[in-house]
Structure 1
Amino acid sequence: MSVELQMLGWSVVLGLVYVLVAAAFGTWQRGLRWNAGNRDGEADPLAKYAARADRANRNFLETFAFFAAATLAVVAMHKAGAQTATGAQIYFWARVAYLPVYVLGIPYLRTAIWIASLWGILQMLEALLR
């Protein structure tokens, strides 16, 4: 299996981690009764760590679709190589770092990590489109 597909598979696992972390923080704030209930009516707005985890989760979902599409296109078009493998690994490891940095509230580092993940996708696209 190519490095790109391995990173795609691990990114799916990472996406589940993002979902579970956001859910755990939401449950921690709102309580198990709310999480296990029907959730009828308006929920209290998420605050601090729970809100950050939720935003990080949504941000992951926004970038993952582009990463997945680029990865599948690179593999399908037989454009995989050192550049795309590096791009996929940079995307994955940047997204690993992004969640704790966002939840802890480190603003400039969070932005730098997001840019790194974007750069990983752009490396894959550059190889695909040349």
Structure 2
Amino acid sequence: MQPTFLAASPFLPLIGVSVIILMVHIALQALTATKELGSDWNAGPRDDNKQVKGQLAGRAERAASNFLETYPAFIALAFGVIMAGDPIGLALTGAWIWIVCRIVYIPLYLTGIPYVRSLVWIGSMIGLLLMLFVLLF
């Protein structure tokens, strides 16, 4: 039987959504790299250390790397807030901000839109800071 605070947490669906975002990044990176480097490269051991050179594949790779830089913090903060509680909903607001910004970030990065992409990244960091604030204060 699960503890009731886990079963009732609104953070659990957001953690699930975050996994979907991760899978989208992995799929985009794999599809664009395979399109550029070929199916034999994708199916093989990749011993030759080939790197993508195309614009879209490079952007997909960098976007995935950028996501992975903040993803552990999101997961740690989400579970921390589940354990500590979020009496005023500030952390939940932060989690939603992070989720929305990370979704919006993907097409912005893939299409190469500058500045707005950076603002969206800053928004995702604000979301994490709101979650952290709940744990610290």
**TM-score for the superposition, normalised by structure 2:** 0.89
Map of 1:85 onto structure 2: 92
Mapped pair 1:63 → 2:70:
yes
Kept after mapping to 2: 8 A contact 1:26/1:46? no
| DSSP-derived class of the 2:46 partner | coil
Kept after mapping to 1: 8 A contact 2:33/2:52? no
Amino acid at match of 1:62: E
| DSSP-derived class of the 1:107 partner | coil
Larger Rg: 2
Percent identity over paired residues: 38
Higher relative contact order by CA 8 Å / sep ≥ 6: 1 or 2?
A: 1
In the TM superposition, what whole-angstrom CA distance separates every residue of 1:45-99 from its partner, at most 9, and x where no partner exists? 3321100000000110110001111111111112354211111111001000111
| C-alpha RMSD of the superposition | 1.3
Amino acid at match of 1:106: I
Runs of 4+ in 1 over 4 A off after TM superposition: none
Mapped pair 1:76 → 2:83:
yes
| DSSP-derived class of the 2:45 partner | coil
In the TM superposition, what whole-angstrom CA distance separates every residue of 1:10-48 from its partner, at most 9, and x where no partner exists? 101111111111111111111112111221213143321
Aligned pair partner of 2:109 in 91, 102, 108: 102
Segments of structure 1 that go 5 or more residues without pairing to the other structure are none
Amino acid at match of 1:48: Q
Deviates more, 1:102-111 or 1:4-13: 4-13
Amino acid at match of 1:66: A
Mapped pair 1:41 → 2:48:
yes
Map of 1:113 onto structure 2: 120
Segments of structure 2 that go 5 or more residues without pairing to the other structure are 1-7
CA distance in 2, matches of 1:79, 1:10: 19
**TM-score for the superposition, normalised by structure 1:** 0.93
Aligned pair partner of 1:27 in 31, 34, 37: 34
